[in-house]
Amino acid sequence: MSADTKIAELLTELHQLIKQTQEERSRSEHNLLNIQKTHERMQTENKTSPYYRTKLRGLYTTAKADAEAECGVLRHSLDKIAEIKSLLEERRLAAKIAGVYSDSDPPRKTMRRGVLMTLLQQSAMTLPLWIGKPGESPPPLCGATPASSDYVAKQGDKVAARVKAVDGDEQWILAEVVSYNHSTNKYEVDDIDEEGKERHTLSRRRIIPLPQWKANPETDPEALFSKDQLVLALYPQTTCFYRALIHTPPHRPQDDYSVLFEDTSYADGYSPPLNVAQRYVVACKENKKK
């Protein structure tokens, strides 16, 4: 089965799941309305009789079951979306290897700067939000949660890579993994801003995988970097990571970090607060300020 056919099938299944979600929600709304009306009658009569207690117990049990059913459908929908994104990425990588690009994904070396910046913003916005079950801890690469020690980034993954610049200085750039050699423990990566122009061969210690999920500040605040923590953050409108301090962590799932970049042109050594998406904020391996 071709990737296009599989994607079409998954989209059809996703459409059905969305309809099922609405059906589950409509069914549960009727029960929630009954709960509200029961509470209103209790307030009017100013008493809590055994009858009302039994009725509410039954209504709340049903409401809980309805919510769990809707949650199950939503999780199934998220799985389908993840499958579709994975297939689209596989298709993109296959086209890249074959040297064939679609209009929506031209070679980076011919891509206008503004188009690249837009794609990076879209990548940050579409990074999936981790939604765990009650009591479940966020997985590695969720928000600030680091990858496991034996983790190997896959082909096509975006990473922060430490490379030598033309002037000999080292810098952290946004790169895409081309391959990993298990014999030498080294990656081959392409600079996201100069794809096809120069390929870097780097050891594992020069690679930091980017988050694969956004952390929800409302449910998993421990999976976020905290205020004043030292990080590497992608400077706005560039493809380079620089040292920064967390000024304000996200308060809502859709919020960015507010960070202070190290900048000697300012009296206190830091820039004014700038917003950077969760996708592009990683732990800084260097603890001391240069």
Percent of the chain surpassing pLDDT 70: 92
Report the residue count for the chain.
Answer: 290
pLDDT of 167 above 80: no
Q: Which residues contact 157 (CB under 8 A, 6 or more apart)?
A: 176, 177, 209, 210
Average pLDDT, the chain: 89
pLDDT of 177 above 50: yes
Q: Residue 110 has what pLDDT?
A: 53
Mean pLDDT of 161-182: 90
* Range with the poorest average pLDDT among 27-36, 86-95, 185-194: 86-95
CA distances from 176 to 59, 93, 99, 153, 159 (A): 52, 11, 16, 10, 6
CA distance 58 to 196: 64
CA atoms within 13 A on the CB side of 19: 6
pLDDT of 1 above 70: yes
Continuous H helices in the chain: 3-45, 50-98, 113-125
Mean pLDDT of 53-59: 94
